[in-house]
Amino acid sequence: MSIGIHDISAATGSLVFPLADLADHQGIDVGKYHRGIGQTEMSLTTEDEDIVTMAARAVAPIIERHGTDGIRTIVFATESGVDQSKSAGVFLHGVLGLPNNVRVVELKEACYSATAALQFALGIVARRPGERVLVIASDVARYELESSGEATQGAAAVAMLVSEDPSVLEIEPVSGLWTDDVMDFWRPNDRSTALVDGRYSVQVYLEALEGAWNDYREGGGADYSTISRVCYHQPFTRMAAKAQQRLDRIATDGSAPEVDRLDGTTQYNARIGNSYTASIYLAFLSLLDNGPDLAGERIGFFSYGSGAVGEFFAGTLVSGYKEQLRAGHLDGMLEERRLIGYEDYRLRHIAFDRVGDFATADESTGDVRFAGVTEHKRLYERR
């Protein structure tokens, strides 16, 4: 029996802020962003969007196509949770109108936890092959104004349906693992923006890649020559290029790689920015939508979450997967985003931390909106 990703879909915030405007405001050459970190824009959320509304938007086409039969588990991975106790997945379960006989949980480990969610989903389906699991990765990536991470903010959600006999990707059982207790990026309970030691985090990311790759190979993982593309966690797309250079160096005999294993994997991330847990699966969706037909080819995945955890695993693209995709769906959403300028961006950034009861302006474009807070309770409504 093969198990893996049966369907995948993504959504992003309704606003877009170009990095050229940020560079203008900072009085620096935009080349630092466009070429230096490989980012052109960042997606931002409106007042009435959050990780739950983006998740609802990502999952809607999956439910429309496959229904909800057999979905008995939702695993919601996020670093930017909306409640310290209640899973964002339970809010999502509510807005989707799913039946009560479903287990729902939220997972956290910076940008890594969607990969843990995927592994848990594979385990559940292996034990009960008729069941299907919804894996959600949804995040709003926020750093302080004027901080080194500011240009790498973003927002997106990816939803994946995990089942037996998948139509998109069969995931192999071998995983390479790496964990080390370090402080490269973290977000204490009293902050809505992350703290980051940016250059150190780049260094730890590469150490994690090397450690996870070595563990993958020692555990019987596939030879590098059989892996045609690698999807990386992309806090910024140049990070994937740095990671690819490192992997090319440690996994080969030093000869120049015959294929560009990043090809096709960075288009969405360059326009959306960091989306923490969703980022690596956006890279995968970018490859699916923008790359050539790679049916039968093995794809590698390197998932990284600061703090820090890394995992390398692989899967094979299923014959006919291209027919399962929704051509132009995410591109359309990217085009539809409303452009905002620096002043609006700055005011929205400052206004993000609202406390007490409030109602939000109706300004997003998805079917589900975050209406506000009443008596400390978050309210979501369908359009």
- The least distance separating ligand COA from the CB of residue 179, rounded to whole angstroms, comes to 15
Strand runs labelled E in 169-319: 169-179, 185-186, 195-196, 227-232, 298-305, 309-317
Residue 181, token pair as written in the block? 């207790």
Contacts of 160 (CB under 8 A, 6+ apart): 5, 7, 8, 118, 134, 135, 136, 137, 281
Residue 306 binds to ligand COA (criterion: CB under 6 A): yes
Size of the site for ligand COA (CB under 6 A): 21
- The least distance separating ligand COA from the CB of residue 240, rounded to whole angstroms, comes to 10
Residue 294 binds to ligand COA (criterion: CB under 6 A): no
Binding test (CB under 6 A) with ligand COA, winner from 70, 94, 198, 257: 198
Binding test (CB under 6 A) with ligand COA, winner from 21, 26, 37, 179: 37
Residue 205 binds to ligand COA (criterion: CB under 6 A): yes
Quick one: which segment of 13-21, 25-33, 72-80, 374-382 binds ligand COA (CB under 6 A)?
A: 25-33
- The least distance separating ligand COA from the CB of residue 77, rounded to whole angstroms, comes to 16
Residue 239 binds to ligand COA (criterion: CB under 6 A): yes
Active site residues: 79, 111, 233
Which of 89, 235 has the CB closer to ligand COA? Answer: 235
According to DSSP, the residues that pair with 139 across neighbouring strands are 156
The residues in 314-343 that bind ligand COA, with binding defined as CB under 6 A, are none
Quick one: which segment of 159-167, 234-242, 259-267, 353-361 binds ligand COA (CB under 6 A)?
A: 234-242
For ligand COA, the nearest residue by Cβ is: 36
The DSSP 8-state label assigned to residue 271 in this structure reads H
Residue 70 binds to ligand COA (criterion: CB under 6 A): no
Cα gap 350→307, rounded to integer Å: 26
Residue 182 binds to ligand COA (criterion: CB under 6 A): no
Residue 96, token pair as written in the block? 């989707």
Residue 373 binds to ligand COA (criterion: CB under 6 A): no
Residue 112 binds to ligand COA (criterion: CB under 6 A): no
Which of 31, 97 has the CB closer to ligand COA? Answer: 31
Residue 199 binds to ligand COA (criterion: CB under 6 A): yes
Binding test (CB under 6 A) with ligand COA, winner from 60, 183, 202, 379: 202
CA dihedral of residues 82, 83, 84, 87 (deg, nearest 10): -100
For residues 8 and 281, is the Cβ–Cβ distance under 8 A?
A: yes
H/E element holding 379?
A: strand 377-382
In 219-321, alpha helices (H): 237-251, 267-272, 279-290
For residues 7 and 66, is the Cβ–Cβ distance under 8 A?
A: yes
- The least distance separating ligand COA from the CB of residue 182, rounded to whole angstroms, comes to 11
Q: Among candidates 333, 263, 315, which has minimal Cα distance to 292?
A: 263
The 10 Å Cβ neighbour count of residue 218 is 10
Rounded alpha-carbon distances, angstroms, from residue 88 to 46, 83, 84, 120: 18, 7, 10, 18
Rounded alpha-carbon distances, angstroms, from residue 161 to 95, 129, 216, 267: 18, 13, 25, 23
Binding test (CB under 6 A) with ligand COA, winner from 235, 273, 300, 372: 235
- The least distance separating ligand COA from the CB of residue 247, rounded to whole angstroms, comes to 15
Which residues are near ligand COA by CB under 6 A?
29, 31-32, 35-37, 148-149, 151-152, 185, 196, 198-199, 201-202, 205, 235-236, 239, 306
